[in-house]
Structure 1
């Protein structure tokens, strides 16, 4: 998915250009005792869109297993800015925004409520390439570089 899938998305103030998007709508199972979307749900949505983006770029779990390599979360930061509630239409965006082209990459997330275009959540993952069989950090294989690096947005300093 990309912003052409969601015409309203072009009006939003995205943190970076060309977001990979997924629509999210909290249902009853997502709502906690405070009557808003549970924070853990946002983390699950990040995982889901991260995988969807990776698959859209041409690398899925089967590829990770075949190559004995994976991009693993080394550090995650989540900023819960505003609550969301049952039935609200939300757009979750993700980008790959930085890499050293060897081991590390950074993924960003931004969640916007469609009705008022309010940013309700931001997150960042610092990723490291690992060898799945050992869990040790290893250089990104050529297939990772070929698929991921063209998608990386380099922030302007």
Structure 2
């Protein structure tokens, strides 16, 4: 199966290819839950940086989007040697503080979706670690990248 043959939950994902290493596995012989979380974080940073929200921009504005909640559904195990493709989409932005992201992890060898996940993020001040309004430039980037039809902020937990 090729990348364009994958049945994605939403159109046009930002993707990252993953090779499951032996050290990614746990005592049960499959990828450890902590490793999935690392993969979600890795692709989130890669995606947001590809949109122009680089770490240099975060430092210049003194603001960054911090994960406030992650919900993961483990559907099928990944094993050492598996080649996987992780896709992500920005699925919500409230225009002020919060955004949401959706993920789908697929094993192209058999076309199976191994994981579906959603996460919510809040803008924080890098010095105080307290919530802060999203800078206007972030709002333009986040608002322009939201994909319709995804699981947004209302799905993954109560608003503050």
* TM-score normalised per structure 1: 0.90
User: Which residue, 53, 69, 76 being the options, matches 1:75?
Assistant: 69
Unmatched runs of 5 consecutive residues or more in structure 1: 1-6
Is contact 1:98-1:155 (8 Å) kept? no
Deviations along 1:40-96, one digit per CA (max 9) or x if unpaired, are 111101111100001100112221121011111111111111101111111000110
* Alignment partner, residue 4 of structure 1: none
**RMSD (CA atoms):** 1.6
User: Which residue, 35, 39, 42 being the options, matches 1:45?
Assistant: 39
What CA distance in whole angstroms lies between the structure 1 residues aligned with 2:136 and 2:150? 26
Shift of 1:156: 7.1
* TM-score normalised per structure 2: 0.89
Deviations along 1:97-143, one digit per CA (max 9) or x if unpaired, are 01111111101111001111111011111111111112222221011
Q: Which runs of 4+ in 1 moved over 2 A?
A: none
1:53-68 to 2 correspondence within 5 Å? 53-68=47-62
User: Which residue, 71, 78, 84 being the options, matches 2:78?
Assistant: 84
What CA distance in whole angstroms lies between the structure 1 residues aligned with 2:36 and 2:46? 15
